[in-house]
Amino acid sequence: MNLIILGAPGSGKGTSATVLREKYSLAHISTGDIFRSNIKNGTPLGVEAKSYIDKGELVPDSLTVSMVEDRLSQDDCKKGYILDGFPRTLAQAEALEEMLAKNNDKIDAVLSIIVDDEIIKDRVGSRRVCEKCGASFNIKFKPTMVPGVCDLCAGNVIQRADDNPETVANRLTTYYKNTQPLIDFYANKGLIVEGNNNVDSNKCIADIENGLKAKGII
């Protein structure tokens, strides 16, 4: 099963993707995580991506598309994958179509996570992530057992540099401008499955699984 998960920054798409990855043994491809790992390791890609990410802007399509193409060619993707944070523009969606056609592959469903903006702003301000394994926590809703220490790998849990109010506002604007049109693109192909994450991730996952069942995918 190959999935795409779409949702505004802070909508909880990473959390839903992690649950689905575990449950259905999927490779989890988060472009944001790949960029952050490149930034941390000081690679040329990381150095170039950082200037965009710090401002809440999108990294140029050319860099992002070749990074995803490389990742999709790795062996673990053969068992199925969930793309988290990609595509984010129509150009990326079209590049993905070409990549899939070349490899005789296809996307089975596009998960669209729905959350109100006010809830997003509140959640992102209190979001914390593990520097080492990328696990997501929230000081209000899902705190770590020991403050600042990851429950999963004991790594440092920090606030992402781009989770400050100005950058979040910019990321939301960018999302509605560039990524929202993708919902129509995939709705026209009959691929959209919605999950409402206004309340909690259990409800969101239940919506998604019901949608996937209705389409005969699981």
Catalytic residues: 13, 88, 127, 160, 171
Are 81 and 2 in contact, with CB atoms under 8 Å apart?
yes
Q: What is 157-212 written as a DSSP string? A: EE--GGGSHHHHHHHHHHIIIIIHHHHHHHHTTT-EEEEE-SS-HHHHHHHHHHHH
Q: Which residue is nearest to ligand AMP (CB)?
A: 32
Class of residue 121 by CB neighbours under 10 A (exposed 0-12, middle 13-18, buried 19+): middle
Show contacts with ligand AMP in window 173-212 (CB under 6 A).
none
Give me 35's structure tokens. 């960029």
Task: Give the one residue of 11, 15, 16, 64 binding ligand AMP; rule: CB under 6 A.
Answer: 64
Tell the smallest beta-carbon distance from residue 127 to ligand AMP (Å).
10
Give me 153's structure tokens. 């790998």
9 part of the interface to ligand AMP, by CB under 6 A = yes
d(CA 82, CA 71): 12
**CA dihedral of residues 180, 182, 187, 192 (deg, nearest 10):** -80
53 part of the interface to ligand AMP, by CB under 6 A = yes
Are 156 and 132 in contact, with CB atoms under 8 Å apart?
yes
Tell the smallest beta-carbon distance from residue 92 to ligand AMP (Å).
6
Task: Give the one residue of 8, 15, 21, 35 binding ligand AMP; rule: CB under 6 A.
Answer: 35
Q: Do the strands 81-84 and 27-30 form a parallel or antiparallel pair, or are they unpaired?
A: parallel
Scanning 56-64, 73-81, 94-102, 131-139 for contacts with ligand AMP by CB under 6 A, the matching segment is: 56-64
Per rule CB under 6 A, count of chain residues that contact ligand AMP: 17
* Partners of 142 in beta bridges: 138
Tell the smallest beta-carbon distance from residue 105 to ligand AMP (Å).
18
Tell the smallest beta-carbon distance from residue 53 to ligand AMP (Å).
4
134 part of the interface to ligand AMP, by CB under 6 A = no
Show contacts with ligand AMP in window 74-103 (CB under 6 A).
85-86, 88, 92
Residues that bind ligand AMP (CB under 6 A): 9, 31-32, 35, 52-53, 56-59, 64, 85-86, 88, 92, 162, 171
